[in-house]
C-alpha cells in the first residue's frame, strides 16, 4: 500500500478554488493537489459567463450586495456576501497579473457585461469561455511552482479521521487527509497531511440533465458528511434556464450573457421564419433579466403547459458581428450543428446547473472538523442563499480558496503532524463481476431525482424519492462492502448519499423560497431559516 505523507496540505480538487488555495499556500508550504480525472476536468473549465465585481463607475459594493441578497431570497448570510463582494476587485487584479486575458474596450478598460439579477454591468469575461481561460492561467501558475504537485486520476474515497489512526488513538473530529484510488495502478493510496481542503465541486450529476461535467458527483459533500461535518441547504439546486436542446449533443450550456446582451425567450412559432411569442413578461417585469430560478420555472411552466420539447432563445435581432464577437464559442458550436444564431433562434431547456448547498463553512473556509476546510461549490458559505446570483460562483472560489489558505498559514502551529494511519483494508473483498448493477443504479438515481426532485416539487414526489433512496442505499452499501472499489462504485456511493441529503433537506422546508418551489407550500415563510443537517455520529 502506498503512503503519501511528504506534503503539508492536501487539496482535493483542481479547479478555481483548489488551485487558488494551492498557489497561496505554496509560498511556504508543500501542497499536493488531487484531481479525479484530468487536472482541467472540473467545472471551472466549463464556465462560459464570467466573474462579478464592482468595477464600473456608478456601481457600488452595496448594489452588488443587494443584488446577491435579492437573488438569494433573504437566506444569504450578509457578512459572507459583504466579505466576498468587497474582495472581488482584488481577485480580478490577481487574475490579470496571472495572465487571464479579460476582454477590453477600445480604450483598454475592461469590457463589462450584465447578467440576470444584476443591476449594473459588472461581469468581466474572456469572450464566452471565461472558465477555460481562468483554469489555464491557474494551472500554468501552479505548474511553475516547485512546492505544488498536481496528480491526475486520483479518486478520493473517504477522509482519514480519528477512527483510522493506528491503535485507536485518534483525535475525534480531526481530519488527516484521505484515502484515494489511483486509477492508473488500481491501488488505494493513503494520503496524509496536516490540513485538507475540499474543492471537489458540486453534485450536478445527481440529476438526469445537468450542465456539470461527468465528475460532478458530490464527492466532497458525501465524504464530509460521512466524516461528521454538517451539511446545509442541499434543497437549493439551481437549474440553468438555457441548456441547448439537442438529442445528440447533451449538456451544452447557453450562457446567461446571451440574455444579458438582449436575447429573448420565445414560444416557438408555428410557421418557420415567423417570430414566436415573447413570454417572460407574463411572469416577471424584469423579463429575461429576472433571476435564474424565475426564468427556469417560467420555461418549465410553458413547456409543460403547451407540451413542448423546448422554447427558443433568440438573439438574431442583434447585428451578426455583435453576436459573433460576444459569443464565438457558442456561435461556432451551433454552426457545427446547423444552427446559425445570427439568423435563427436556439432551442433550449432548463438543466441542473449549480449546487447552492454543501459543507457548512465559516469565513475562513473552516468546516466543523479540525484540519478540514472547504471552498467553492462543495461548500455552503452563506454567499448564495436560496439562489446563486449569476457569475458569483467563480468569485466565491477565489475568495474562499484564498481565505482557507490564509487561515491554514495563520493557524499552522495548531495543526500537528499526522499520526500513524491504518492502511486501506481490502482483505475481505473481491473483484465485481456485476458492473451492470452499478450502471443501472446510477441511471435510476438520476432519473427519479429529475422526475421527483426537480424544478417544481410536491411532498408526495419527495416521499417517493426518499423511499427509492433508502432502498438504493441499502443495495449500494451491501455492494460496496463486498467488492473492490472502482471509480464508478465510488461515485455511485457518493451520488446516493447526496441524493438522500437533497431529499431530506427538501422535505424539511415547508415553504417555497428561491430554488426550492413546492406546490404544497407555494408561499414564502416570514422568516428565512437555513436547513442544517447534522450527522448522527461524529467521529
Tell me if 3-45+128-235+356-414 shares its fold with 426-526: no
DSSP symbols for 111-177: PEE--TT-SS--EE-STT-HHHHHHHHHHHHHHT-TTEEEESSEEEEEEE-GGGBGGG-PPTTB--E
What pLDDT score does 469 carry?
A: 96
- Other C-beta atoms closer than 10 Å to the C-beta of 213 total 21
Side-chain half-sphere exposure of 227, counting CA atoms within 13 A: 33
CA distance 35 to 220: 12
443 labelled catalytic: no
Three-state SS string across 311-380, please?
EEEECCCCCHHHHHHHCHHHHHHHHCCCCCCCCCCEEEEEEEEEECCEEECCCCCECCCECEEECHHHEE
Contact in structure between 261 and 254 (CB atoms under 8 Å): no
Phi–psi pair at 373, nearest 5 degrees: -120, 165
CATH of domain 3-45+128-235+356-414: 3.50.50.60
Per-residue pLDDT, 428? 78
Chain centroid to CA 29: how far?
A: 27
Quickly tell me which residue has 477555460 as its cell: 132
The arithmetic mean of pLDDT across residues 515-531, rounded, is 95
Helix, strand, coil percentages (3-state) for the chain, rounded to 5, are 40, 20, 45
pLDDT digit string, tens, across residues 42-82: 888 877 779 999 999 999 999 999 999 999 999 999 999 99
| Separation of alpha carbons 296 and 515, rounded Å | 9
Q: Which of 318, 323, 298, 299 is nearest to 310 (CA)?
A: 299
The per-residue pLDDT for 226 is: 96
Question: Mean pLDDT across the chain, nearest whole number?
Answer: 92
Lowest-pLDDT range, 21-35, 236-250, 335-349? Answer: 236-250
Predicted confidence (pLDDT) per residue in 214-227, tens digit: 889 999 999 999 99
What does 467-521 look like in DSSP terms, one character per residue? HHHHHHHHHHHHHHHHB---HHHHHHHHHHHHHHHHHHHHHH--S-BTTB-BTTS
Q: C-alpha 134: how far from its chain's center?
A: 16
Topology classification of domain 240-352: Flavocytochrome C3; Chain A, domain 1 (3.90.700)
Give me the pLDDT at residue 481, please.
86
Structural domain boundaries in the chain: 3-45+128-235+356-414, 240-352, 426-526
Question: What pLDDT was estimated at residue 407?
Answer: 98
Average pLDDT over residues 267-285: 89
Task: Say if residue 538's pLDDT is above 50.
Answer: no
How far, in Å, are 12, 231, 469 from residue 501 at the CA level?
Answer: 21, 8, 10
Sheet of 195-198, strand order: 148-151, 31-34, 9-12, 195-198, 372-374
pLDDT in tens, 109-121: 899 988 878 999 9
Band of residue 410 on the pLDDT scale cut at 50, 70, 90: very high
Higher local confidence (pLDDT), 96 or 170: 96
Residue 531: how many CB atoms within 10 A of its CB?
Answer: 21
Confidence of residue 539 (pLDDT cuts 50, 70, 90): very low
**Percent of the chain whose pLDDT exceeds 90:** 76
Give the pLDDT of residue 331: 95
Q: Choosing from 292, 366, 493, 509, which is the catalytic residue?
A: 292
d(CA 522, CA 289): 23
CATH class of 426-526: mainly alpha
pLDDT tens-digit map of 174-220 = 999 999 999 999 999 999 999 999 999 999 999 988 888 888 999 99
Q: In degrees rounded to 5, what are phi and psi of residue 332?
A: -65, -45
Give pLDDT, residue 212.
86
Express each pLDDT in 122-151 by its tens digit: 999 998 789 899 999 999 999 999 999 999
Residue 427: per-residue pLDDT: 76
Q: Give the model's pLDDT for residue 169.
A: 65
Please give the Cα distance from 357 to 509 (Å, whole number): 13
Amino acid at each position: 500500500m502506498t503512503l503519501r505523507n511528504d506534503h503539508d496540505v492536501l487539496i482535493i480538487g483542481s479547479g478555481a478554488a483548489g488551485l487558488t488555495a494551492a498557489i497561496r499556500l505554496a509560498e511556504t508550504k508543500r501542497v499536493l493537489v488531487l484531481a479525479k480525472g484530468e487536472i482541467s476536468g472540473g467545472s471551472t473549465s466549463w464556465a462560459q459567463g464570467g466573474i462579478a465585481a464592482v468595477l464600473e463607475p456608478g456601481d457600488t459594493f452595496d448594489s452588488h450586495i443587494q443584488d446577491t441578497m435579492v437573488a438569494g431570497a433573504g437566506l444569504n448570510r450578509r457578512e459572507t456576501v459583504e466579505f466576498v463582494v468587497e474582495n472581488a476587485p482584488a481577485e480580478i487584479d490577481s487574475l490579470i497579473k496571472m495572465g487571464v486575458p479579460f476582454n477590453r474596450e477600445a480604450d483598454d478598460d475592461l469590457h463589462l457585461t450584465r447578467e440576470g439579477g444584476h443591476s449594473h454591468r459588472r461581469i468581466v469575461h474572456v469572450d464566452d469561455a471565461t472558465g477555460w481561460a481562468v483554469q489555464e492561467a491557474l494551472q500554468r501558475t501552479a505548474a511553475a511552482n516547485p512546492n505544488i504537485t498536481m496528480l491526475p486520476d486520483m479518486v478520493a474515497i473517504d477522509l482519514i479521521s480519528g477512527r483510522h489512526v493506528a491503535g485507536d488513538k485518534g483525535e475525534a473530529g480531526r481530519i488527516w487527509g484521505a484515502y484515494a484510488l489511483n486509477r492508473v495502478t488500481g491501488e488505494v493510496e493513503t494520503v496524509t497531511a496536516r490540513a485538507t481542503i475540499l474543492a471537489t465541486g458540486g453534485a450536478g450529476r445527481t440529476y438526469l440533465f445537468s450542465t456539470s461535467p461527468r465528475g460532478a458527483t458530490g464527492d466532497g459533500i458525501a465524504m464530509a458528511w460521512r466524516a461528521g461535518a454538517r451539511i446545509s441547504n442541499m434543497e437549493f439546486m439551481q437549474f440553468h434556464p438555457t441548456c441547448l436542446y439537442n438529442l445528440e449533443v447533451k449538456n451544452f450550456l447557453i450562457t446567461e450573457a446571451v440574455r444579458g446582451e438582449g436575447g429573448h425567450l420565445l414560444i416557438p412559432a408555428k410557421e418557420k421564419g415567423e417570430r414566436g411569442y415573447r413570454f417572460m413578461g407574463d411572469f416577471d417585469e424584469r423579463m429575461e433579466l429576472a433571476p435564474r430560478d424565475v426564468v427556469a420555472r417560467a420555461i418549465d411552466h410553458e413547456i409543460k403547459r403547451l407540451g413542448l420539447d423546448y422554447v427558443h432563445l433568440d438573439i438574431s435581432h442583434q447585428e451578426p458581428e455583435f453576436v459573433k464577437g460576444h459569443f464565438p464559442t457558442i456561435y461556432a458550436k451551433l454552426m457545427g450543428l446547423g444552427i446559425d444564431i445570427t439568423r435563427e433562434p436556439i432551442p433550449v431547456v432548463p438543466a441542473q446547473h449549480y449546487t447552492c448547498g454543501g459543507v457548512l463553512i465559516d469565513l475562513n473556509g473552516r468546516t466543523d472538523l479540525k484540519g478540514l476546510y472547504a471552498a467553492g461549490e462543495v461548500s455552503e458559505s452563506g454567499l448564495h442563499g436560496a439562489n446563486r446570483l449569476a457569475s458569483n460562483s467563480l468569485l466565491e472560489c477565489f475568495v474562499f480558496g484564498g481565505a482557507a489558505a490564509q487561515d491554514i498559514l495563520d493557524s499552522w502551529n495548531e495543526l500537528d503532524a499526522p499520526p500513524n494511519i491504518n492502511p486501506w483494508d481490502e482483505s475481505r473483498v473481491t473483484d465485481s463481476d456485476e458492473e451492470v448493477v452499478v450502471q443501472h443504479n446510477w441511471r435510476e438515481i438520476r432519473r427519479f431525482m429529475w422526475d421527483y426532485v426537480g424544478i417544481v416539487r410536491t411532498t408526495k414526489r419527495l416521499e417517493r424519492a426518499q423511499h427509492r433512496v433508502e432502498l438504493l442505499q441499502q443495495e449500494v452499501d451491501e455492494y460496496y462492502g463486498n467488492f473492490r472499489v472502482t471509480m464508478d462504485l465510488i461515485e455511485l456511493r457518493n451520488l446516493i448519499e447526496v441524493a438522500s441529503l437533497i431529499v431530506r433537506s427538501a422535505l424539511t422546508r415547508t415553504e417555497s423560497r428561491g430554488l426550492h418551489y413546492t406546490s404544497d407550500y407555494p408561499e414564502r415563510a416570514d422568516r428565512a431559516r437555513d436547513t442544517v443537517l447534522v450527522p448522527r455520529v461524529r467521529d
